Amino acid sequence: MSVPRRIHRFLGWCLILPFFIWATTGLVFFIKPGYQAAFSSLTVKTYPISTSVQLSPQPDWQEMKLLQTVLGLHLLVKQSDGWQQLNPQDFTVRPQPTDDEVYLLLQDAISVDPQRYGQQLQKTEQGFITDTAVQIQLDWHSLSLSQQGKDTELINNLYKAHYLQWTGHKTLDQIVGVIGLVLLILTTVVGLRLLVRRR
């Protein structure tokens, strides 16, 4: 067996695992099974505004929203440093809600999709979790929700595997990625050289 052929075979064996991972995860990304549920949007449940409110926009407000939820009225204003929630009456910053208030808000939000979120919430150190093991986080300033279940975590891990983010350390993952690309290029070059020689 010639030296180039041995090198090509050696490089091929080195790339079997990355190729298998790239092909498998690439197929998942193409078919996208379970994506709709895993990355579904969860929003707070709103109701018709029941009271009249006089608003005088301030010069530094870039955008504003007035919503009503199970907790009452919410005035959201966007400024240069991001969203802020204010009291509609005097425009003072609205304090962070209590755990009981967050529970009411989230419980109302998950009621729209009991198949994914179940029926009950539980408080944990990381936030609130449903009885279907979906973690829910609340951004009080923008009154927005984010959700992540085991399916979301699995798909995110597949992305990491596809892009050779195997170690969890950014610098080391970049080195692994560069090595993988170099091996792929060398395999292609040696393979083309063998093909040309054969012809």
Residue 170 belongs to some domain of the structure: yes
From first to last of its 199 residues, the chain has per-residue pLDDT tens of: 566 677 767 777 767 777 788 888 888 888 888 888 899 999 999 999 988 888 888 899 999 999 999 999 999 999 999 999 999 888 899 999 999 999 999 999 999 999 999 999 999 887 899 999 999 999 999 999 999 999 999 999 998 888 878 787 888 888 878 887 887 787 777 777 766 776 5
Residue 105 belongs to some domain of the structure: yes
pLDDT recorded at residue 33: 84
Same domain, 45 and 124: yes
Query: How many domains would you assign to the chain?
Result: 2
pLDDT recorded at residue 126: 79
Asked if 149 contacts 38 with a C-beta cutoff of 8 angstroms, the reply is: yes
What are the two backbone dihedrals, phi and then psi, of residue 167, each rounded to the nearest 5 degrees?
-95, -20
User: In angstroms, rounded to a whole number, what is the distance separating the alpha carbons of residues 95 and 97?
Assistant: 6
Same domain, 16 and 46: no
Which residue in this structure is represented by tokens 């944990």? 124
Same domain, 49 and 134: yes
Same domain, 129 and 170: no
Same domain, 55 and 127: yes
Which segments of 43-181 are extended strands (E)? Answer: 63-69, 72-79, 82-86, 121-124, 127-130, 135-139, 144-148
Which residue in this structure is represented by tokens 């959201």? 76
**What is the domain range of residue 9?**
3-31+164-198
A 10 A CB-CB count for 80 gives 6
Same domain, 26 and 58: no
pLDDT recorded at residue 134: 95
Residue 153 belongs to some domain of the structure: no
pLDDT recorded at residue 95: 94
pLDDT recorded at residue 179: 81
Residue 157 belongs to some domain of the structure: no
Same domain, 16 and 89: no
Same domain, 27 and 120: no
pLDDT recorded at residue 180: 77
Residue 99 belongs to some domain of the structure: yes
Residue 155 belongs to some domain of the structure: no
Same domain, 97 and 170: no
What does the buried/exposed string (b/e) look like for 152-172 if buried means 16 or more CB atoms within 10 Å of the residue's CB? Answer: beebeebeeebebbeeeeeee
